[in-house]
Amino acid sequence: MIFAVAATTQTRKWVEAFRSRAPDLRVDALEDVPNPGDVAWIATWETAPGRFAPLTNLRAVFAMGAGVEKFLGRDDLRDDVALIRLNDAGMAVQMADYALYAALTVLRNFDHYDRDKAGFTWRPLRPRSPSSLRVTVLGLGTLGGFVAARLAERGYTVSGWSRSEKQIPNVRAVHGADSLDRLLAETELLISILPSTPETRNLLDARRLALLPRGAYVVNAGRGDQLDLDALLNLLDNGHLRGAQLDVFPTEPLPATHPAWENPALRITPHAAAFTLIDEAVEQMLDKLARFERGEKVEGLVDRTRCY
């Protein structure tokens, strides 16, 4: 049986990485497999319609990232095929850096200096201490939990919100829909790292964004369907929100004609908060594959009813 790889422009690098670490495993680019029925496992970014239909003996799909929403609800992917996501693979440290970038922006007034530069204004501003900044991280899974812990280690006052109960040292963790509104009302820096699920889509709508205190700063590095972009822009324009840093959008790439590009209070990054690192990802996938074939518990096995 074949372990296939479909990774767009980096397919060859992924194949080489798998082959070097698992010489006894037959690994091929999907495009090079003469008989798709020989594919038992596949690692892929690909979500083209019909991608999985020819893979009649497919046993598991290894997603090359933490998000799996594009693999769900497909008519070409059988329910009995295991869907396994990455838990970290080098992404957590990058995501923490992205969050710290936003936190430092708020503490050290770097966003104000950017705007002052545009107006040729020289205006030194006093920084704040990390402990004075009330940070909330939405999503306390592998990535979000790491981000919350890292911010707490740096001295920030950190709360976290999740669907189910979590415990993270030095982080006030709350859970459940009822607690979210109260938490938003006291949040000065909001960082969303939630997956895309029916419960999280449009979670940060106009009403909830307006609950944030005046002067709050918003970061979204989760999924673009969680946040009402038009409502965010309105709150930035009327001065209720200090600023925002967005890495994900409802439509990607963000259309060149979208007004978000011209908003001076909005920092835009092109879905670049955290990249999958090939070496780390391959090591993790091979470990998951071995556990899966032995019938053991596999971390990252997606519960399709929960969408993660």
> Is 271 part of the annotated catalytic residue set?
yes
Q: Cβ of 124: how many Cβ atoms within 10 Å?
A: 7
Give the span between the Cα atoms of 270 and 253, in whole angstroms. 7
Question: Which residue among 271, 294, 304, 306 is the active-site one?
Answer: 271
* Three-state SS letters, the chain: CEEEEECHHHHHHHHHHHHHHCCCCCEEEHHHCCCHHHEEEEEECCCCCCCCCCCCCCCEEEECCCCCHHHCCCCCCCCCCEEECCCCCCHHHHHHHHHHHHHHHHHHCHHHHHHHHHCCCCCCCCCCCHHHCEEEEECCCHHHHHHHHHHHHCCCEEEEEECCCCCECCEEEEECHHHHHHHHCCCCEEEECCCCCCCCCCCECHHHHHHCCCCEEEEECCCHHHECHHHHHHHHHCCCEEEEEECCCCCCCCCCCCHHHHCCCEEECCCCCCCCCHHHHHHHHHHHHHHHHCCCCCCCECCCCCCC
Question: Which residue among 51, 208, 223, 242 is the active-site one?
Answer: 223
Catalytic residues, by residue number, are 223, 271
